[in-house]
A and B are shown apart, each in its own frame.
Chain A
Amino acid sequence: MDIQASVASVESSQGKPLDQVLQQIAEHKGCGTSSEGGKASCGSSTAPEDMDPAIWEKVKNHPCYSEEAHHHFARMHVAVAPACNIQCNYCNRKYDCANESRPGVVSEKLTPEQASRKVLAVASTIPQMTVLGIAGPGDPLANPEKTFKTFELVAQTAPDIKLCVSTNGLALPEHVERLSQFNIDHVTITINMVDPEVGQHIYPWIFWKNKRWKGIDAARILHEHQMRGLEMLTERGILCKVNSVMIPGINDKHLVEVNKAVKSRGAFLHNIMPLISAPEHGTVFGLNGQRGPTAQELKALQDSCEGEMNMMRHCRQCRADAVGLLGEDRSSEFSTEKVMEMDIQYDAEGRKAYQEKVEEERQATVLAKQAEMAGLEAEFSDLKVLIAVATKGHGRVNEHFGHAQEFQIYELSTQGSKFVGHRRVDLYCQGGYGEEDTLPTVIRAINDCVAVFVAKIGGCPKDSLKAAGIDPVDKYAHEFIEQSAVKYFKEYLAKVKSGEVVHEVRGDADIRQGAYIAA
C-alpha cells in the first residue's frame, strides 16, 4: 500500500534537518581531501556521525523517505496482495488498505507475473523509477506467496530496483527471516497504538492462529507482534518506517507515546497521517461521525514528535497502483492490457546514466538554496510563514495554478525553508480554464499560507486569492523552489520592517476528505 510513500522536512536522529545533512554531504564533496582548510568550510563537524553512511545511502534517493528525493525519483506499487488478516475501523475492504492508500480507492489486482511485467515496463519507460512497493490492496504479509513471488520475479531481471513492503505487522515476525533473503530496502509498519486499551477502539478484530480475536485481546496480540517485528527488523539491519493514522479523540495524544516506543526500537522514520473519514467511505469511523484532524492539529502533533526522531510529512496517501513522481499518476499508461503488449527492453546502463544526471540536478538545488541563505542568517526575527507551491517535481516551481492536484507547503523563517506537508486539491481546472466553484475549496486548503508560488495563473483566481489574503506569486516560474522561497522570505521580512506589509497570523486549513481518483 505504500502507494502513497521528505528530505527538507525530515529530521535526522539528532534533530538536524535532512537537507542540512545533504548540504553537508555536498560540501564534503567540495572539501576535497585537504585536511585543515577543508574542515572549516565543511560546516558542522557532526555530519558524518549524524547518520550511518549505509543508512544514508539507502535513504537519499528514496521517494518514500525523502521529500526532496520525491521530486527526482519515482516509486510504483503493484496490487498483488488483496487479503488482509485484521480489521481497522477506518477501512472498508471493498477498497484498498487504508493504512497507506486514501480510503475509497480501488486498485487493479495483478498476479505476480503481471506485476513483474508491469514493473519492468514502467522501469524501462521511466528511468527515475527506483522503488517498488507492495502495499496491498490488503496486507502483503497476509499474502506471502504472492508478495514473495513478485519480489523474486522482479529481482531476476531488475536487481537495481529497491523493494519495499508495508504491513499492519500481525504476520511480520513469522516472515522477517524470509524477507531478509531479498534485497529489501525498507519495511513500513502501520502502528496506531502501543496500548491495547487504545487499540481496541481502532481494531475490532484480528485473525490469528485460526481464530478471530476481538476487543482488547486482539489489540494486545497485534501490539506484541508489531513490537517484535520491529525489533527483529532492526536486529537484521533492515530499515523500518512507521506509519500512524491520527484519530482525534482516540489516539491523537497517544501518538507521542507511539513515537517514543518505535524510536527506542530502532524505527528510522515516523510518518503521522491524518485520518480521512467520510460517511460515503462506509467505514466504521466514517459512519459513526469520527472526524479527521485539521491541518493545524496534524502539524502540531508532527512538530511535537519532531526532535524525538525523523518525521515524515510528505506521505500523500495515494493509490496502491500509483506510478510516478509527486502527485503525478501515470498508472493509466501501464494498464495490464497495454503492458502485456509492450516490447520491454530493460536498459540497466541507461537507467544508471539517467540517475546520475538527476543526482547533479539535485546537488544544484541544494547549492542554490544555500547560496541564497547568505544574508538571511544574520537577520533576527521570529517570524514564521507558510507558503504553498505548485510543482511537478525536479525541485522547481513548474506547475500552473489551475493544473495543480496538490500544493507543497513550506515553512519559512530565518532558518530558511522547510517542507512541512502537502495539500491535495485534485483538479481545480478540468479543461484549461478555471471553474469558479472549486476555487473556494483550493483557497480553504491553503488558507494558512501567505503566498502561493505558481508557474502561471489566470487573472480571476489571482484576484480571489488576493481577496483571501494569499499572495499569488508567478515571478519564480521554473526556478528552484527553496531558493525562491528564501528570496521571497527576505523580501517579506523587509516589507514587514518597512511597514509595507502587516504580518498577521493566518487561520487553519482543510484536509481534503475525498478519494484520490485522478487518473
Chain B
Amino acid sequence: MAYKIISSQCTACSACEPECPNNAIREKDGTFIIKPEKCSECIGYFDEPQCVAVCPVDDTCVIDNSYPRYVAA
C-alpha cells in the first residue's frame, strides 16, 4: 500500500511536499497528490509517515487500500 491524499480535504498548504523522503508528493490542479509507485510509507526513513505527521487536516493523508502494502527491498 501507499498513502494517498483525500483531495477534497487538502488545503494545498504544501507542508507535506518537502517532507517526503521519496519525492512522491507534488501539486496538481490546486491540490497535492502522492504518486503511489514512489511512496514507501516512509519505511526505512522515519518512524511515522511524514505527510500524515505534518498535515494540518486530520484524515487527509491516508492509506490507499487499492495498492499492495509496501515491502522494504
Residues of A within 8 A of B (CB): 82-85, 87, 93-94, 109, 137-138, 142-143, 207, 210-212
Contact = CB atoms under 8 A, between A and B. Distances in A.
29 contacts: A82-B11, A82-B12, A82-B13, A82-B15, A83-B13, A83-B18, A84-B13, A84-B56, A93-B57, A94-B11, A94-B57, A109-B12, A137-B13, A138-B13, A142-B15, A207-B54, A210-B19, A210-B46, A210-B47, A210-B48, A210-B50, A210-B53, A211-B46, A211-B47, A211-B48, A211-B53, A212-B48, A212-B53, A212-B54
A211 to B, nearest CB: 6
Contact of A93 (B19, B47, B56): B56
A216 B53 CA distance: 17
B31 interface: no
Contacts of B14: 82-83, 143
B6 to A, nearest CB: 14
Contacts of B11: 82, 93-94
A87 B56 contact: yes
A82 B15 CA distance: 8
Interface residues of B, number: 16
Nearest to B30: A109
A207 B46 CA distance: 13
A110 to B, nearest CB: 13
Contacts of A138: 13, 15
Contacts of B12: 82, 109
A289 to B, nearest CB: 20
A83 B15 contact: yes
B4 to A, nearest CB: 19
A143 B53 CA distance: 17
Contacts of B53: 207, 210-212
Nearest to A209: B46
Nearest to A142: B15
Contacts of A142: 15
Interface string B16-31: 0011000000000000
B48 A93 contact: no
Nearest to B17: A83
A139 B39 CA distance: 26
A83 to B, nearest CB: 4
In the complex, the 4 A-B pairs of residues with the closest C-beta atoms, listed nearest first: A83-B15, A93-B56, A212-B53, A82-B13
Contacts of B18: 83
Interface in B36-58: 46-48, 50, 52-54, 56-57
Nearest to B57: A93
A207 B52 CA distance: 10
